[in-house]
């Protein structure tokens, strides 16, 4: 099974409501779908969303990276030679992590098809289902309260609250949600780099002193400020998770060597795909640190790829793969199935993606 060609398409999927964070507001998923075709007629699926404010990637940059660099390096390669393919992929272009992730997941899709095995079993097969949290956009406290109650009604037992704009207002938001949902539901905060270190410590301590239980706070400070991240981690009781600070295996090693965070959030679009993510999981496990598996604003193609990785590894203990619950429609046939907040991994070979409807030419 050899790589014969790489094809790029576009998919547009409206969200049910605007997705608001400290960094951006998103109205729809406008993603690049990548298809790798092999000489024996198989197709592997991948996806790259444009997340310029986090990864620096746009649809244009993804397409350019694949068409001008990555594709030329991989045509003719045998899918079974996974280490060789990933080495050539990484050497073909620096950064451009979303483009590399799209190619990576399509290759793993084909590898699973080659051996007639689901990807999660190929990678370890620890579990065949995972339970995701769901994210509340930054809005007025009253609206976030209602969104939280709706999430609980759908069966979610963990809620991620987007904060990071105004810390006093953020405290009101978190208190409003906690008062509405009680204490049997986990609350996770995600500041998306929105606070200063001392400000973050003051705000988190206020919530702790008020008895607002939080499982974790994600990326409270700027991505580059590892000293600030460590300052927050060292001065609060709540677990602190690194997200935008953590792209590569090297980032994971540095953060964990410094003890700058208690947890790390892996996203395929940050690290460049499953192959690099496996290295990060191994580093974290060696350090005794658990991982979350998260996602950007993605269709079920990329979410399914992330879910396969999440299902494969024991040390991935938290799951933030909720984008498919935020989409207004689902053009993807196959992939993970949802049972309330639970994502059930497909039993078929590869990623289990059969088709993506509504694709348009680029």
Tokens of 342: 């639970």
Q: Is 270 a catalytic residue?
A: no
Nearest CA-CA partner of 121 in 275, 313, 293: 313
Q: Do 318 and 134 touch, CB atoms closer than 8 A?
A: no
5 is in an annotated binding site: no
177 is in an annotated binding site: no
297 is in an annotated binding site: yes
Instruction: Identify the three-state secondary structure at position 211.
Output: coil
Q: Is 162 a catalytic residue?
A: yes
Query: How many whole angstroms separate alpha carbon 362 and alpha carbon 182?
Result: 48
Instruction: Identify the three-state secondary structure at position 99.
Output: helix
160 is in an annotated binding site: yes
Q: Enumerate the β-bridge partners of residue 135.
A: 160
Active-site residue, from 267, 270, 300, 313? 267
190 is in an annotated binding site: yes
135 is in an annotated binding site: yes
Nearest CA-CA partner of 34 in 122, 128, 114, 98: 98
32 is in an annotated binding site: no
Helical (H) or strand (E) element with 26: strand 25-38
Please identify which residue in the block is written with the tokens 């269709």: 299
322 is in an annotated binding site: yes
Nearest CA-CA partner of 11 in 43, 34, 42, 27: 34
Query: How many whole angstroms separate alpha carbon 329 and alpha carbon 125?
Result: 30
17 is in an annotated binding site: no
Active-site residue, from 162, 270, 300, 313? 162
Can you say which residues are annotated as belonging to the binding site for substrate?
Answer: 24, 135, 160, 295, 297, 320, 322
Can you say which residues are annotated as belonging to the binding site?
Answer: 24, 135, 160, 190, 218, 243, 295, 297, 320, 322
Can you say which residues are annotated as belonging to the binding site for Mg(2+)?
Answer: 190, 218, 243
Q: Which residues are catalytic?
A: 162, 267
């Amino acid at each position: 099974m050899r790589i014969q060609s790489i094809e790029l398409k576009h998919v547009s999927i409206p969200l049910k409501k605007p997705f608001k964070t400290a960094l951006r507001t998103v109205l729809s998923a406008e993603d690049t779908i990548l298809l790798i075709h092999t000489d024996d007629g198989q197709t592997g699926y991948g996806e790259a969303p444009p997340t310029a404010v986090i990864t620096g990637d746009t649809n244009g940059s993804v397409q350019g990276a694949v068409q001008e660099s990555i594709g030329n390096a991989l045509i003719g390669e045998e899918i079974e030679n996974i280490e060789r393919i990933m080495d050539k992929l990484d050497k073909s272009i620096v950064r451009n992590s979303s483009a590399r992730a799209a190619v990576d997941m399509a290759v793993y899709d084909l590898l699973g098809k080659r051996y007639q095995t689901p990807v999660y079993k190929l990678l370890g097969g620890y579990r065949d289902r995972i339970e995701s949290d769901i994210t509340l956009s930054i809005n007025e406290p009253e609206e976030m309260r209602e969104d939280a109650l709706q999430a609980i009604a759908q069966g979610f037992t963990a809620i991620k609250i987007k904060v990071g704009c105004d810390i006093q207002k953020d405290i009101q938001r978190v208190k409003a949600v906690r008062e509405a949902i009680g204490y049997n539901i986990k609350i996770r905060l995600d500041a998306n780099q929105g606070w200063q270190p001392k400000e973050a410590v003051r705000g988190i301590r206020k919530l702790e002193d008020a008895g607002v239980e939080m499982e974790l706070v994600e990326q409270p400070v700027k991505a580059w400020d590892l000293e600030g991240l460590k300052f927050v981690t060292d001065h609060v009781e709540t677990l602190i998770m690194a997200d935008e600070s953590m792209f590569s295996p090297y980032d994971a090693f540095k953060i964990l060597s410094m003890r700058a965070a208690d947890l790390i959030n892996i996203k395929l679009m940050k690290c460049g795909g499953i192959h690099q993510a496996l290295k990060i999981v191994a580093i974290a496990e060696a350090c005794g640190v658990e991982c979350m598996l998260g996602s950007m604003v993605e269709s079920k193609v990329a979410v399914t790829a992330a879910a396969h990785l999440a299902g494969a590894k024991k040390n991935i203990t938290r799951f933030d793969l909720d984008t498919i619950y935020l989409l207004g429609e689902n053009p993807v046939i196959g992939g993970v199935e949802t049972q309330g907040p639970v994502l059930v991994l497909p039993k078929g070979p590869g990623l289990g993606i059969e088709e993506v409807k509504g694709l348009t030419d680029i």
